[in-house]
Amino acid sequence: MSNIQPEKDPLLSDGQMEDLLSAFYAGEEPEALKQLPSTWSQIQNNDVSEDLIVAPAKRLPDASRGIFVAVATLAMCVVVMIVLSGDNSGESTAQDKGQQTQGQQLNNTINVSGDGQSSGGGVIGDDSTTLEEIDNIDLTPQDDEPDGDVEKTDRKPESE
Amino acid sequence: MEQQQTVDASVSAEELEELDEVYRENSRELWAIFYSQCSDPERAYDAVQESFLRLHAHRGEQIRDPRAWLLRVGQNWLRDVARRKSSSCKLTPALDEIVNDRFVPQDILSSTENRQAIRHALQCLLEDDRKVLVMKYSLNWTSAKMARVMDCSAAAIDMRLSRARRRLAELLEEQGYDHE
Are the beta carbons of B132 and B150 closer than 8 angstroms? yes
Output the CA torsion B121→B122→B124→B128 (10° steps): 160
pTM equals 0.55
**CB-nearest partner of A11 from B42, B134, B170:** B170
Which residues from A are below 8 Å from B28, CB to CB?
Answer: 29, 33
Q: Is residue B137 part of a domain?
A: yes
Chain A residues with beta carbon closer than 8 angstroms to that of B118: 20, 24
Statement to judge: residues B113 and B46 lie in one domain: no
Integer angstrom CA distances of residue A33 from A27, B107, B142: 12, 25, 22
Taking only the tens place, the pLDDT of each residue in B130-158 is 999 999 999 999 999 999 988 899 999 99
Identify the CA nearest to A132 among candidates A114, A153, A158: A114
Residue B180 lies in a domain: no
Mark yes or no for CB contact B115/A17 under 8 Å: no
pLDDT at B16 over 80: yes
Nearest alpha carbon to residue B33 among B65, B63, B77:
B77
Interval A99-145: pLDDT, tens: 555 555 555 555 555 555 545 455 666 666 666 666 666 676 666 55
- What is the domain count for chain B? 2
Mean of all residue pLDDT scores within chain A: 67
**SS3 breakdown of chain B: % helix, strand, coil, rounded to 5?**
75, 0, 25
Residue of A nearest to B48 (CA): A33
Specify whether B117 is located in the same domain as B62: no
Whether the pLDDT of residue B83 is over 50: the answer is yes
ipTM computed for the complex: 0.74
Instruction: Provide the residue range defining the domain that includes B80.
Output: 2-85
CA-nearest residue to A23 within chain B is: B137
CB A130 within 8 A of CB A116: yes
- Answer with the one of B58, B85, B112 that is the final residue of a domain: B85
Residue type at B155? A
Distance (Å, whole) CA B37 – CA B14: 33
Task: Mark out the alpha helices in A29-112 (DSSP H runs).
Answer: 41-44, 47-51, 63-108
Query: In terms of domains, do B19 and B75 share one?
Result: yes
List the CATH number of the domain containing B127. 1.10.10.10
Measure A56 CA to nearest chain B CA, in Å: 16
Kindly report the backbone phi and psi dihedral angles of residue A60, in degrees, each rounded to the nearest multiple of 5, phi listed first: -75, 145
Q: Are residues B142 and B165 in the same domain?
A: yes
**Res B33 pLDDT > 60:** yes
Q: List CB contacts (< 8 A) between A40 and chain B.
A: 49, 53
